[in-house]
Structure 1
Amino acid sequence: MTGSCVTVPCSFDVEDKYEQYLNNQCTAIWRSTTTGDVAQLTDRNPQTGDLTKKNCTTTFSNMQTGPTKDYYFRIDCNNPLLWSYSSTYVKIEVTDNFPSPTLTPSTLKIKEGESVSLTCSAPAPCLPHPPTLIWTPKLGDIQETLQENQDKTKFKTSVMNFTASHLYNKQNISCTAGYKKQDGSSDAALTTSLIPDVLYSPKNVTVSVSPSGSVVENSNVTLTCNSDANPAEQNYTWYRADGGQETVIGTGKIFKMKVKTDTKMFFCKAVNEIGKQPSNITHIDVLYSPKNVTVSVSPSGSILENSNVTLTCNSDANPAEQNYSWYRADGGQETVFGTGKILNITVSMNRKSFFCKAENDVGEQHSSITHIDVLYSPKNVTVSVSPSGSVVENSNVTLTCSSDANPAEQNYTWYEVKAAQEIVTGTGNTLNTTVSTDRDIFFCKAQNDVGEERSNLSHIDVLFPARILFSSKCMKTSNQVSCFCDTAGNPSPTTHWNLHGKPITQPSQMVITHDSLNNSYLRSIITIVEPQDRDLSTLQCFSYNSLGSASKGFCVRCLDNSKENESQILTPVLIGSTVTFLLIICALLVVVWFQKTHYKPKSVAATSGQHEAKEQTKADNSQPSTGTDLSCNNPEKMSKSSADKSEDVVYARLKWRENTKVKEEDIYVNLELSDGSCLNEKKCENGGEHSVSKKEEIESMRAEDKIKNIRKESEVVYAQVKFQTKTPESQ
């Protein structure tokens, strides 16, 4: 190389006889085959080896371009040893086109992962300054050696060992030999390179989406599978990765599809003859309106009425929800009552069903209705009656207690209302009972774990036949008589008056009026002017409705006898009371004697009268009274009976006893009677008056008692007629 040095390897031999002449005085001379005996290259500062050792290797410096010549070696020892070795010569060529280093192998095709050994060789013409060998890039370990050719010339080798990688595929690998120059010019650098063909499976597999960015649900997108592989990919497979599962959805480098909320995660797999490689999962930003909107309640489970709860609206949406609205769904209507993701409210029996609506830029969605299990005591407690409507007295009815409660009612209690008192009459959801005029008001009480509530009073419309009440009577003034016929019945009764068996049609001296106390109770009043001019012994009141009828005779003439008897009785009573009082004060013995001789028989009679009254009460349950005839149409017989017994009826006492469910108490009704009273056990049979049994009288009395608010729980035990001894008249 021009400007560089060159080393000519050389050795020689001499005959044995000249061996003795080899000494340090020997010199090496190089001559050209064309120039004869003229020494050559003496200006190139030749450096020759140790001639005494027959080493004639010579280095010439700063070689310059010139004709190529053949040179031979001559030894001159300035003694008999002088010899030219012209038969052996070396050709020295100085050139600027020095050969580049040699790479072995010159081409490289290998699979990724296999071991590779590259050797770079470059001639070393100048032994003092051999070339430097540099690998670009340096891929592995490097080992350098200086080697000798068969012609004794030198060359330098560099071996680089590495493992093939896809990164080196098609990458230029070069070896550069650097030569040092001695003419002051730049060092020479000669490079040899190769491009390896590294076979490898797909690398850097990626998915590109068009259009890029966010995509609205149900839009079409184009997916492209990109990768680096050698040889190029032969197959592409597309997978959906939603829900943690891999599902094949298509093939090919390009795949078109419609995205949804559950179809937004994809990857592709590239395959060639070396291997395969999947891409990473590509998440498409799918924009969609809120979905799976739900309501959560805290605390969960059953909630007591009027407790506070926290409602939270949860949903899945992209972009995230911007607005939340809360609705109440009770009663089949939707009412907005709040906003925000979280809402605190107080629940009640009519505030327990809710839903929320979530909204974003894409759309909106509402949750299903959430029903909170609100616990509350019974409400809207009602009583239903079967059969409904009006019910005939003594019929059986079924009462049903209905209510709204949570938890459902556990206990039902039935109450019967009598005389403003509430009496427990049964339990259970239904009650079978018999109704009557004094058993027609009921209510129930429903109870659960939270509390209790009672229904309103249920009034059963009890139908009963017409009755004439015990309060019916006549009153007389100086010039007229007024008779009152009090009747009860349901349906409302109709009344009319009969005289001598014929209806009274209101002549000029008789006036009939009607007063209605309510739908079931009626008072008919007949007013008779100048009664002394008429025979009223057959005056009767008739009351009837669709279920039955009743009649009652009125003895107007008895009113006169009563007044006379009252005047006759008044004086003896006062006298008898005075005498009795004085006798008690004067002497106890007189009193005892008086009681034995006068009062004891009368007590027996009174007792007998009581017994007869009791027996008569029992008998009256089946037939009219047959006791002593106190008819006002037979005053003489009445007077005689009174005189025989020396006693008057002072009062009739009715004793009532409550049902066993309440405390017994006696209720007394004192009725003032006289010898001619119309309230006898057998009413004025003479004169055509209708006979009325005591049983009917008692039923009338009970109906009258209902008007007077006498306890409905009471029942007749006995009727007692008490007689008081009449004081003998003064003689």
Structure 2
Amino acid sequence: MVFLLLIFLIVIHRGYSQKENVRYSPPHICALKNSSVIINCNFTYPPERSIMKTFWTKTKNRNTDNEFPDLSEDPEYSQRLQYLGDKQKNCTMRLSHVTQKDEHKYYFRFITDKANVKWLGEPGVTLTVLDLQVESPERVTEGDSVRLTCKSSCALTDRATFIWYRNSQPLTERRDRNNILLLQSVRREDAGRYSCALQEHTYISPEVHLNVVYPPRNVSVFMNGSGEIVEGDSVTLICSSDSNPPAEISWIKGGTTVGSGRIYNISKIRSDHREEYKCKSRNEHGEKYSEAVTLNIMCELVSSVTITLNYFFYMIVSDICLF
């Protein structure tokens, strides 16, 4: 008799010890922007009750008439929320195309048949939505090494594979499980806009600009016109230089500095302009001179000179420059 009573009490205890409860795993989820996230959930309830309705909610404002609305009926969620569970134990749901506006604490809720009991699964699960961000130095000198890091405060899995982009084009050779892009011996061609993404995800991080600085190179002088210069003409010399940051340009005639700026104008050419000219390109990382150019100034001839000597007249034609 005592044994039967003990069994009866155990059955009663088990029946009433199974109370309403909801378990979330994990309680905090960090999702990448535009990705899909699955919130794992299980629930229990007394076996003598029947589940009438199950749904997910996010609002916790007891001052409203509808304090815990069904998200599947919310236009902002109806096309993105998918209930993957059942009405027995599983309450897992998927939320797709998450954005910053989805950052909330979410709760699973169920309604039973007993006195229309509505149970809210505390403490809920917190969803955080974060962007990927590229960390990079603002500038790097040509020849140095630079490290770019694709960062997110989301706890990404070890299986995450990173993809890097330069100027919106994928660096196909850089698909790595390491979130660091290392550029050895940086070239000026490495300058550009960098961003990162996770493989199998459409979201790409905002771009950051990598600025590669270097001293002047390819310095040369160009002269307008045909190259044949007559006294009194005007000549324009142009200095071409490749550098970052832009270089300061100065002009040297012989060994003397005679001007500055990319363009050097000489008006009313004279004989003393027949010299070698070159330009110097200089920035904070170095300087370089162009090859020298010489102005080829043509003579204007005197062709009629009359000389009187001993009553004889001679007409002498000579070539005499005016200078």
Once the two structures are superposed, the pairs formed by residues 610-629 of structure 1 within 5 Å of their partners are none
1:269/1:279 contact within 8 Å kept: no
Q: Aligned with 1:306: secondary structure?
A: coil
Contact 1:203 1:229 in 2 (8 A): no
> In the alignment, which residue of structure 1 is the partner of 2:120?
277
Number of residues paired by the alignment? 268
Name 2:79's counterpart in structure 1: none
CA deviation profile, 1:67-115 (whole Å, cap 9, x unmatched): xxxxxxxxxxxxxxxxxxxxxxxxxxxxxxxxxxxxxxxxxxxxxxxxx
- Partner of residue 551 from structure 1, selected from 303, 309, 314: 303
Corresponding residue for residue 688 of structure 1 = 315
Match for 1:426 among 250, 259, 267? Answer: 259
Number of the residue aligned with 2:72: 250
Indicate which of 184, 193, 204 corresponds to 2:21.
Answer: 204
CA distance in 2, matches of 1:320, 1:376: 38
In 1, the alpha carbon distance for the partners of 2:37 and 2:118 equals: 34
CA deviation vs aligned residue, 1:243-263 (integer Å, no higher than 9, x gap): xxx985226xx9467643638
1:443 maps to what in 2? 278
Q: 2:251 aligns with which of 414, 419, 437?
A: 414
Task: Give 5+ residue unaligned stretches, structure 1.
Answer: 1-133, 139-166, 172-201, 209-216, 285-290, 468-549, 554-623, 638-684, 703-731
For 1:224 and 1:377, how far apart are their aligned partners in 2?
64
Indicate conservation of the 8 Å contact 2:163/2:170, yes or no: no
Match runs of 1:175-190 below 5 Å: none
Q: Which runs of structure 2 are paired with 1:646-665 in the superposition (5 Å)?
A: none
Distance (Å, rounded) in 1 between the aligned partners of 2:171 and 2:116: 67
Contact 1:347 1:374 in 2 (8 A): yes
Equivalent-residue separation in structure 1 for 2:202 and 2:21 (angstroms): 40
Provide closer, same or farther for how the CA distance between residues 437 and 373 of structure 1 changes in structure 2, counting only shifts above 3 A: same
Deviation at 1:382, TM superposition (A): 3.9
How far apart are 1:425 and its partner, in Å? Answer: 0.9
| Residue in 1 that maps onto 2:218 | 380
Q: Which runs of 5+ in 2 are unaligned?
A: 1-5, 26-34, 60-67, 74-81, 85-92
CA displacement, residues 477-530 of structure 1 (integer Å, 9 cap, x when unaligned) = xxxxxxxxxxxxxxxxxxxxxxxxxxxxxxxxxxxxxxxxxxxxxxxxxxxxxx
Contact 1:389 1:461 in 2 (8 A): no
Q: State the identity as a percent.
A: 20
Give 1:338 deviation, angstroms. 6.2
**Within-5 A mapping of 1:95-494:** 203-205=20-22, 227-228=45-46, 236-239=54-57, 249-250=71-72, 255=83, 259-260=95-96, 262=98, 267-271=107-111, 276-278=119-121, 281=124, 295-297=134-136, 300-314=137-151, 320-321=158-159, 340=176, 341=178, 342=180, 343-353=182-192, 362=200, 371-385=209-223, 388-390=225-227, 392-409=230-247, 411-416=248-253, 421-434=254-267, 435-436=269-270, 438-439=272-273, 441-458=276-293, 464=298, 466-467=300-301
Conserved? CA contact 1:236–1:269, under 8 Å? yes
Mapped to 2, the partners of 1:247 and 1:408 lie a distance apart of 61
Asked whether the equivalents of residues 22 and 121 of structure 2 are also in contact (C-alpha less than 8 Å), the reply is yes
Residue aligned with 1:346, SS: coil
- Is the contact made by 1:206 and 1:227 (CA closer than 8 Å) also made in structure 2? no
Distance 1:365 1:231 in 2: 45
Q: Give, in angstroms, the shift of residue 449 of structure 1.
A: 1.9
- Cα deviation, 1:256-292, whole Å, max 9, x if unaligned, reads 67643638995312356566422564699xxxxxx96
| Aligned mates of 1:302, 1:460 — CA distance in 2 | 41
In the alignment, the residues of structure 1 paired with residue 39 and residue 120 of structure 2 have an alpha-carbon distance, to the nearest angstrom, of 23
- Give the distance between the partners of 1:273 and 1:339, measured in 2 at CA: 54
CA 1:207–1:354: 2 relative to 1, 3 Å: closer
How far apart, in 1, do the equivalents of 2:271 and 2:46 lie?
A: 105
Q: Distance in 2 between matches of 1:309 and 1:324?
A: 18
Task: Select the structure with the greater relative contact order (CA < 8 A; seq sep ≥ 6).
Answer: 2
Of 345-354 and 274-283, the range deviating more from structure 2 = 274-283
Structure 1 Cα separation of the partners of residues 250 and 69 of structure 2: 66
Q: More helix by proportion, 1 or 2?
A: 1
Contact 2:194 2:210 in 1 (8 A): no
What is the SS of the residue equivalent to 1:250? helix
The amino acid of 2:139's aligned partner reads: S
Q: Distance in 2 between matches of 1:219 and 1:206?
A: 17
Whether contact under 8 Å (1:205, 1:228) holds in the other structure is no
Quick one: which amino acid aligns to residue 285 of structure 2? V
8 Å CA contact 1:444, 1:454 repeated in 2: yes
Task: Give the whole-Å Cα distance in 2 for the aligned partners of 1:370 and 1:453.
Answer: 31
User: What letter matches 1:305 in structure 2?
Assistant: E
Change (3 A) 1:437 1:404: same
Q: Please give the alpha-carbon distance, in whole angstroms, between the structure 2 residues aligned to 1:363 and 1:220.
A: 15
In structure 2, distance between residues paired with 1:383 and 1:347: 29
Change (3 A) 1:222 1:277: closer
Change (3 A) 1:248 1:318: farther
Conserved 8 A contact 2:216-2:283: yes
Give, as a single letter, the amino acid of the residue that structure 2 aligns with 1:308: S
Q: Return the offset for 1:394.
A: 2.2
2-structure distance, mates of 1:432, 1:313: 51
Matched letter for residue 316 of structure 2? E
Alpha-carbon distance change, 346 to 395 in structure 1, aligned in 2, over 3 angstroms: same
Distance 1:236 1:338 in 2: 46
Mapped to 2, the partners of 1:552 and 1:333 lie a distance apart of 73
Contact 1:310 1:344 in 2 (8 A): yes
Offset, 1:414 = 1.1
The TM-score with structure 2 as length reference comes to 0.56
**1:714-725 correspondence to structure 2 within 5 Å:** none
* Shift in alpha-carbon separation, 1:220–1:170, aligned structure 2, 3 A: closer
The amino acid across from 1:205 in the alignment is: V
Q: For 1:293 and 1:170, locate their aligned partners in 2 and report how far apart those are by CA, in whole Å.
A: 49
Taking a change above 3 Å as real, the CA distance of residues 466 and 454 of structure 1, as seen in their structure-2 partners, is same
